[in-house]
């Protein structure tokens, strides 16, 4: 049976420190991969085109600065 987020959270809170650290490491990789997939999907679907166009217009108009 699938667990809900509350149940999973309760189990995470019961983990010993070494297992909690392993979970944190795993989740960091998992979350980064999910984020990367979402950005790639949004980019290929054109969802970022308007933002990119606006940024390029500001750049060519001299409204940007080095970071």
Taking the chain (67 residues) in runs of 10, the rounded mean pLDDT of each run is: 93 98 98 98 96 95 91
Residue 1 belongs to a domain: no
Residue 67 belongs to a domain: no
**The pLDDT of residue 55:** 95
**The pLDDT of residue 66:** 87
User: What is the Cα–Cα distance from 20 to 14, expressed in whole angstroms?
Assistant: 9
**The pLDDT of residue 59:** 95
**The pLDDT of residue 63:** 94
DSSP-derived secondary structure letter, 65: -
Residue 65 belongs to a domain: no
* Domain count of the fold of the chain: 1
Q: b/e map of 20-55 (b: 16 or more CB within 10 Å)?
A: eeeeeeeeeeeeeeeeeeeeeeeeeeeeeeeeeeee
């Amino acid at each position: 049976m699938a667990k809900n987020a509350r149940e999973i959270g309760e189990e995470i809170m019961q983990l010993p420190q070494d297992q909690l650290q392993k979970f944190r490491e795993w989740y960091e990789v998992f979350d980064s991969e999910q984020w990367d997939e979402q950005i790639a999907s949004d980019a290929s679907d054109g969802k970022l085109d308007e933002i990119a166009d606006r940024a390029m217009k500001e750049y060519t108009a001299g409204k940007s600065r080095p970071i």
